[in-house]
A and B are shown apart, each in its own frame.
Chain A
Amino acid sequence: MRKQSVIAILMVLVFSLAASRHASAQKPPTPPPELTKEDVANELTNATKQMNDVTNHLGANAAAANKAADKWREQEKAIEKLRTDAKKEADQAKDLADQALEAAKKCDKAKYADLKMKATSHANSAKSMTKSADSKEAGLTKGMDALQNQMNDAEKASLKAETDAGNIKGGTNMAPMGGFNKAQQAYNDALDDKQTASDLRSYRITRDFIKGQLKDAKTDNDPTKALDGVKEDLDAAEKALKDCPPKEGAMAPKPTNEIYVALDTNCGTNVDLCNIKEGQDSRPVADSLGMQDCGAIATTTTDAVYHCPGSASRADTIKTRAKAKDICVGFSETNYCEGGAPFNSERSKFVNPVPIVIQLRRAVR
């Protein structure tokens, strides 16, 4: 009995909810703003003006568009060439990246560095060419569509003004309607002009052909896959390199090839994460302190010391965060990078301890 009552209550609730949702769905749509005669008159006047503008230049524009076909075709060919060249560059970059990966797997750091540089150069070239082709294609398409867009806009404006005039009482008899009808007629007449019609037809065929060519060129020469492959190869190579230091046989004197930046004062920060349990990964602890870009430099059974690049001011930030999160930080300090070997035969000037002077004049009897 009690169970039935509960079910009944639930059903009532469900129905009431459904009803409320249904009610909101039946809300009447907002009515479009009511057109006034003045609005329609303005529309007709504007449409008339727009249509007359198109009509007045239609013949000349159609002829010009027809004449521009060869120029557009040349531009299209140039864009197509850019895309095929970009693809070649990307493919070359991918080949070089493949070779770089192989060199890295064989721990040939010098060869890897050389191939990586070349692969990156070709990849950058491919990206640059593709960007240029995209930009030029957008410009060409805009130019080719200009006349057709102008005509479409005029026709749309005309159709809308005519429709709106029919929707209000006395709209078809309004004063601007006369001019509007004349403009429409003139436009139709212009379209019927043999030369114009011929030019327009040629223009449209050429335009559609060129657009098709551009589309094919883009599809056939897409460098995306090759460029993604370059990145994947180089990333994999970097990983491979980390696992292959030189073997004993390769142990030999090293040439001096370091670059020392004497004035670099952004030496970074060293941070000791303490109370790390044996076997525990300290990385999440470091990450929680905003140390994602820091790397472990030393580990013991209880501590992990990280070095963070950048400004030494991070030391305090990390300390503050650690305190707020109750994370054990043994030290967080500047990475002193001005250390060196203490010798210099020229340091002949004698520097003695500061003498201990006690000012006791008033106290002395």
Chain B
Amino acid sequence: MKRRFITTLGVVSLAAMCAFVSSPVRSQNRNPNNPYLYTTGSWGQSYRDQWGHWKVGLTPMGEGNSAWDIETGQDNPVVVAFVDTGLDYLHPQIARANVWINPNPNTKPSGGGQNRYVDDLMGWNFVDGDNNPWDNDGHGTFTAGIVAATINDGQGIAGINRGVKIMPLRVLNFLGRGQTAQIIPAIIYAADHGAKIINMSIEQDMAARSQGLQWAVDYAYKKGVLIVVAAGNQGRDTSTTSPSGLNHVLTVAGTDTHDKRLGFSNWGPSVRISAPAEEILSLRARKTDMLVMFGAKEYARRHAVLGPDAKYYHATGTSFGAPFVTGVASLILAKNPNLTPDQVEHMLLMSADDVESPGWDQLTGYGRLNARKALEADPNYYLYCEVHKLTPAKDDNGADVVKVFGTVRGSTLDRYEVQLGQANQDVSTYKKLDEKQGKSVDSGLVASFPVSEISSQGEWVVRVVAYDSAGKMRESRNSMKVE
């Protein structure tokens, strides 16, 4: 027996042997068995290499708390379009089965301009106007890898959805730059070709809301497509940005390993949820080093490249939070393909783990993504309560008032209260200023109260609490500094 064992080892390569011996995955027979899901400190950090997966509940199966115990995505492939820099579809962790193959490629031109979509076998390259969405930047492969990297194949990282079909739509060039004239047709293409989710880890440098992008997003939304977008990294209000500030998109802010909002993550009324976005590990497209492409000044070439075969990369940005939400949304749709974008959104938001300020806040939305709870959530239940803005104003009689703007709506909304208190006091001492029964407000005036309610200078908090018919509550707070 001993002799036979030695003989067997003799034909195994040293590298494979080392991998076999060092992998805790195989020895513990865990599923998935991708090494980086279990390792820590591969680039000198103190936390797990794929900490984001662990944080949102994408943990080894069979231990009772993994989202994958509920749905792996294997049996019901969901088409997810990545409107990005393209895809390294030859990466060893991008399986052919996980790339969308057009069942009916165009034989005659069907689009306009250079987007004629002839032989659109696996998406489209809107930058060059051809059918090869190859990734020369690395960003698209990185974001897609978070969702679609092969799982349980004993190598590298674990993706999120085993059966997902990635539709690569290249709209950003090798520097990660693009324009709305390319993004608009890409969204339309995705909606027309069966994508159920569009991931757009894209932001516009100009502080403007693009009507063109809104038009395209509305088109996709009406066709039942969930559009997940990154909040952006400019540290500014999303209400003036695209696509993170558009209607009918699910805007994802970035959080760190301690569930704190990343300082550069954009904020504002349109932020709906947050997800891990700091030092995320994913796939590296061949011959790319996206931080170099991006022009990061203090970055040393290949510093973020990881793995003996340089197939992996770690980077920070809200770009990488959005794919976590996209991936979990794709698991939800794999479990129940008939859900509408709104229902998927309800499940994601209502199940998020509340972080930062209690309830909805403009930094992290309804909280940090929780994959398992999202998969278990009721698609028809929602209770939204958001305080977007406080504004001093005068009422019809000329009296000084504070207007509270926001959203309060729910599937079984019973009532909501408006409370006022000082920041340093417990909320139980807050004074109830107003109560409204069964009235929904969607991005409008929630309440208005006289300034005379404020008795001193300092920091004051307006707290709105919504209740459903079963007595469940959801709150949102916003503070004001009184001088």
Contact = CB atoms under 8 A, between A and B. Distances in A.
Interface of A: 242-248, 250-256, 258, 260, 267-268, 270, 272, 295-300, 303-307, 330-331, 333-361, 363-365
B362 interface: yes
Contacts of A272: 211-212, 215
A347 to B, nearest CB: 4
Nearest to B244: A342
Contact of A342 (B118, B233, B482): B233
Interface in B30-67: none
B136 A254 contact: yes
Nearest to B288: A256
Contact of A298 (B111, B178, B298, B480): B111
Given A297-B181, A344-B291, A346-B297, 6 more contacts: A252-B132, A295-B113, A340-B176, A342-B230, A345-B279, A364-B482
Contacts of B68: none
Nearest to B303: A345
A345 B319 CA distance: 11
Nearest to B117: A245
Contacts of A344: 233, 264, 291, 294, 296, 316-317
Contact of B392 (A298, A346, A353, A358): A358
Those 5 A-B pairs whose CB atoms lie nearest each other, nearest first: A351-B235, A296-B112, A343-B317, A350-B263, A295-B113
Q: How large is the interface on B (under 10, 10 to 19, 20 to 34, 35 or more residues)?
A: 35 or more
Given A341-B176, A356-B390, A253 B478 contact: no
Contact of A360 (B172, B203, B230, B400): B400
Contacts of B291: 344-345
B101 to A, nearest CB: 10
Nearest to A354: B237
Interface in B275-302: 279, 286-287, 290-291, 294, 296-299
B473 interface: no
B260 to A, nearest CB: 10
Contacts of B109: 242-243
A341 B173 CA distance: 10
B264 A349 contact: yes
A347 B319 contact: no
The residue among B115, B137, B180, B478 with the most chain A CB atoms within 10 A of its own CB is B180
Given A298-B185, A300-B188, A338-B204, A343 B132 contact: no
B267 A299 contact: no
Interface stretch (B8-16, B343-351, B453-461): B453-461
B454 A297 contact: no
A343 B231 CA distance: 11
Given A253-B90, A300-B219, A361 B483 contact: yes
A339 B236 contact: no
Contacts of B184: 270, 297-298, 305
Contacts of A338: 177, 179, 204-206
B111 A341 contact: no
B454 A364 contact: yes
A245 B131 contact: yes
B193 interface: no
Interface string B58-93: 000000000000000000000000001100101000
A345 B296 contact: yes
The residue among A250, A251, A352, A358 with the most chain B CB atoms within 10 A of its own CB is A358
B127 interface: yes
The residue among A255, A270, A298, A346 with the most chain B CB atoms within 10 A of its own CB is A298
B202 A353 contact: no
Contacts of A348: 263-264
A337 B242 CA distance: 12
Contact of A254 (B132, B180, B219, B267): B132
A341 B206 CA distance: 13
B135 to A, nearest CB: 9
B148 interface: no
Contacts of A252: 132, 134
A339 B204 contact: yes
The residue among A268, A340, A343 with the most chain B CB atoms within 10 A of its own CB is A343
B175 interface: yes
The residue among A353, A355, A359 with the most chain B CB atoms within 10 A of its own CB is A353
A258 B452 CA distance: 63
Contacts of B433: none
B394 to A, nearest CB: 10
Interface in B399-430: 400, 402
A247 B121 CA distance: 9
Nearest to A244: B118
B481 interface: yes
B311 to A, nearest CB: 14
B181 A335 contact: yes
B139 interface: yes
B216 interface: yes
A361 B481 CA distance: 11
Interface string B160-188: 00000000000011111111111111001
Given A298-B115, A353-B363, A358-B481, A339 B181 contact: no
Contacts of B236: 351
B483 A339 contact: no
A204 B105 CA distance: 75
B372 to A, nearest CB: 27
B376 to A, nearest CB: 31
A260 B234 CA distance: 22
Given A270-B181, A360-B482, A343 B294 contact: yes
Contacts of A331: 211-212, 215
B338 to A, nearest CB: 24
B98 interface: no
B139 A339 contact: no
A345 B299 contact: yes
B298 A339 contact: no
B112 A353 contact: no
A151 to B, nearest CB: 66
14 contacts: A245-B116, A252-B134, A297-B113, A303-B215, A305-B112, A305-B184, A331-B211, A336-B208, A337-B180, A342-B203, A344-B317, A346-B298, A347-B235, A365-B455
B95 to A, nearest CB: 16
A246 B483 CA distance: 67
A353 B172 CA distance: 29
Given A248-B119, A258-B127, A297-B185, A337 B179 contact: yes
B19 interface: no
A25 B315 CA distance: 93
A112 to B, nearest CB: 14
Nearest to A338: B205
A359 B392 contact: yes
Nearest to B142: A343
B299 A270 contact: no
Nearest to B478: A356
Contacts of A337: 177-181
B210 A351 contact: no
A268 B131 CA distance: 24
Contact of A260 (B177, B185, B235, B297): B177
B466 to A, nearest CB: 21
